[in-house]
Amino acid sequence: MAERKPIESWLTDMDGVLMHEGVPVPGADAFIKKLRDSAKPFLVLTNNSIYTARDLQARLARIGLEVPEESIWTSALATAKFLDDQHPGGSAYVIGEAGLTTALHEVGYVLTDTDPDFVILGETRTYSFEAMTKAVRLINAGARFIATNPDETGPSAEGALPATGAVAALITKATGKEPYFVGKPNPLMMRTGLNAIGAHSESSAMIGDRMDTDVLAGLEAGMETFLVLTGLTAAADVDTFPYRPTHIKNSIADLVDLV
């Protein structure tokens, strides 16, 4: 097996790696500081499309994690980049929050419910039957179906919440049309992120807490992968998957000395 190149850039998931239910994971602040001091390119990634990068920068700063806005990459930004490449200057009917609508506006998309090119489904805490009905009818009329990410549930203090993947399944059942999912584990999100910071997969690493999204996306993008055990995937779960991370670590604190 060929030896990997030294790690020159880092991509890391946010929830479950750097923070957990709004509380920083011990060692996350030291890891981010080490990255910034090293001047190595890095990105904090999230499949959540609710917030803009500026919103997330402020949320992270409030818990002591100083991440520059340009070092945050969301599924909303990846979706906007994908659509700008595929169909510049298009139109879309959007179910989602400011993170997604802002990203689409910034690439010149028009948001409309009249004959849009695309129906784009993102994360929101207020999925409405009316909006989903509109999406179904527009897709049946010929709009192409895009979803920011395939996550079926999201976390909350009260327990799991239905997320984009679950709502996408409802729309698919009603239309017979599968969406194209842009976010993890689609390696497209990783590759567009790497391009954004001028990094190459052969000398980059992905850190995540989920085998089915973070590790799989990093693997398929050709990156070195680190699974940390502070989130959803436990050590006992790893062998249930047909692929493995390059490394398994207890937490982000164990990676500080590798930067």
Q: Is 98 exposed, middle or buried (0-12, 13-18, 19+ CB in 10 A)?
A: middle
147 neighbors 172 (Cβ within 8 angstroms): no
**Residue 214 a catalytic site member:** no
- Give the active site residue among 15, 117, 151, 209: 15
Question: Residue 118's closest CA among 45, 171, 48, 163?
Answer: 171
Give the pair of three-digit tokens for residue 155: 């976390």
What is the Cα–Cα distance from 206 to 212, expressed in whole angstroms? 13
Phi, psi of 7 (to 5 degrees): -75, 120
Q: What value does the CA radius of gyration of the chain take, rounded to a whole number of Å?
A: 18
Residue 258 CA to its chain's centroid (Å): 24
**Residue 13 a catalytic site member:** yes
Give the pair of three-digit tokens for residue 56: 């997330």
Give the pair of three-digit tokens for residue 250: 């207890």
The secondary structure of 220-239, three-state, reads HCCCEEEEECCCCCCHHHHH
- Give the active site residue among 13, 29, 117, 214: 13
What is the Cα–Cα distance from 211 to 160, expressed in whole angstroms? 18
Looking at the annotation, which residues are catalytic?
13, 15
